[in-house]
Amino acid sequence: MAVRWMLVALVGLGALVPTAAAADTAGTAGTPPGPPPPADYDLANGHFYTQTNGRPGEVTPGYSVTDEAGIPLWSEFQRWGGLRTLGFPVSRRFQLGPYVAQAFQKGILQWDPSQSKAVLANVMDLLHDAGKDGALESAQHIPPPLGQARLELLDFPNHGFQQTYSGADDPLALYGLPTSAITDEGASYTIRLQRTAMQLWKSDQPWAKAGSVTVVNAGDLAKEDGLVPPNAAKPEAGRIALGETSHRPWSGWWWPSLDGGSGPHLFDSDGPLAKYDAYVRSLGRPDPGTRAWELQHFQFSDPSLSWAGKCNGLAVAELVEPEPTQARTLNGISFTVADQKGLLADYHFADPAGFLVGKADTGGVTAADFHRAMLNYLGTLRQGLVMNAFAGTQQVQSFAVYKFQATYMPDPAAPATKTHVRMTLWAADFHVDPDFVGLKNWPDEHLKTYSYFIYGDRTNPTGGDWEGDSVAGPYAHPENLWYPDENPATRNQFGQLSSSTLDYKIIQQIVAP
């Protein structure tokens, strides 16, 4: 779509940004709730888990495991085997003696700068030093340590302890040395080690078969017995925001206006407008002449135009109209799926913006406005947005945005006031076959992710800016975001963008199932 005619329609109503309060009100007036956040999700430099937040059914708060501040606990967590070895995180980062540490269900990782790697803390030894042996014995049936740690303590007629211990890639690093004799604790035989404890079960349990060995959740024990500070044990606020439209859009052809351009045109002799004119005549009405009007006003041969078409009208149609999915024949005139989508795209090409943020002459939409628009429109109102994307020339391309996922990373230097955001968008692509049915994501299955930072409240930021590969270049960040004014009286209000004889009621006859 060429900028020069489309912006006339967009700028007429100005920028109307709904406040969070207005969006909340609109969102509660019968709008179904959006999708729930996932139980865990990727961050820019780590991962966020909600499974151990202590609030069953609530998947917002949790614990992040990251590589932030130059301490790569996320990378080290994965090196240690991740969830399989250490379980889910049960704390934020905290100071454990001279080390930055984080607790997981099975143990505590602590960053050792002298080795440039994370090692497992001797949790059971630390609990002994904290005077917790009595509590461990009475509540968890874990025996107190002996005076000297040694491997011989694993000797037992049942070889389960030895097999579990030696089955680890590096048992000394993972478990430490045994520190107690094997004791009979009733339901199990138990042995204490420097970093955990093991239990060999005498009979079937809900969590283990008779004769099997389980490793206790030493990190959970450390948290319960006070090794993890209360502030670190408290779950973090969620680092994700989600939004999705209640109406799922579809993909269609973009209908170029450049004469001789690849693919079909609205003004072709056997195209949508020619068939529309023929259908109107078949009803006994005068020839509306929509094809002739289109040829006169929107057939371009200017070699300086690298891009011109009806993609913004298509994007509106994708957001507000049901998808035509089958060819239809009316009064002997055959309308393909492409024809039907083309008529809808041409009609909505004349829709002005009822909401608009961002201008080309100011560098496009600001990061803060972009963020607010996504949260308000897709997140609360559950309405899509048309995104005009800089394509690297004077032209822009328009896409129907229908879903977003934003992840947050507090800035290490100013975590209370500055937040880095990665916003992934799902948008309908128009690079499809003209008769395509369904939805294809733009630009491909990897979607499109924007990077920026914001100041202040995450839901209503006071400012911010683009960063990384979203600063400059083709498709770096959008020119603007907008939603159409669907009042028919406002069509063509700021310039004639489609034929005045293109009748919506007749289009509905053509596309109706």
Q: Is the pLDDT of residue 8 over 50?
A: no
What is the band of 259 on the pLDDT scale with cuts at 50, 70, 90?
confident
Domain ranges of the chain: 3-29+246-511, 40-124, 143-215
Helix (H, G, I), strand (E, B) or coil at 374: helix
Q: Is the pLDDT of residue 6 over 80?
A: no
Look at residue 230 in the predicted model and tell me its pLDDT. 96
C-alpha torsion angle, residues 152, 153, 154, 155 (rounded to 10): 70
Please provide the distance, in angstroms rounded to a whole number, between the alpha carbons at the two ends of the chain: 29
Q: What is the pLDDT of residues 363-386, one digit of tens each?
A: 899 999 999 999 999 999 999 999
Look at residue 31 in the predicted model and tell me its pLDDT. 57
Q: Is the pLDDT of residue 491 over 50?
A: yes
Q: What's the full length of the chain, in residues?
A: 513
Q: Is the pLDDT of residue 74 over 90?
A: yes
Look at residue 492 in the predicted model and tell me its pLDDT. 84
What is the band of 156 on the pLDDT scale with cuts at 50, 70, 90?
confident
What is the band of 307 on the pLDDT scale with cuts at 50, 70, 90?
confident
Query: What is the arithmetic mean of pLDDT over 4-25?
Result: 36
Give percent of the chain above pLDDT 90.
Answer: 79
- Which amino acid type is present at position 104? F
SS (H, E, C) 94-105: EEECCEEEEEEC
Average pLDDT of the chain is 90
Give the containing element (helix H, strand E) for 348: helix 337-348
Identify any residues that bridge with 214 across adjacent strands, giving them in sequence order: 199
Q: Which of 97-106, 124-133, 297-306, 339-348 has the lowest mean pLDDT?
A: 297-306
| Cα distances (angstroms) measured from residue 458 to each of 58, 235, 240, 373, 455 | 20, 18, 10, 12, 8
* Other beta carbons less than 10 A from residue 40's beta carbon: 18
Look at residue 169 in the predicted model and tell me its pLDDT. 92
Q: Which pTM value belongs to this model?
A: 0.83
The DSSP-derived string for 303-334 is: TT-S--BSHHHHHHHHHHSPPP-S-EEETTEE
What is the band of 327 on the pLDDT scale with cuts at 50, 70, 90?
very high
The DSSP-derived string for 416-476 is: TTEEEEEEEEEEE---S-TT--S--BSS-TT-EEEEEEEES-TTS-SEEEE-GGGSSSTTS
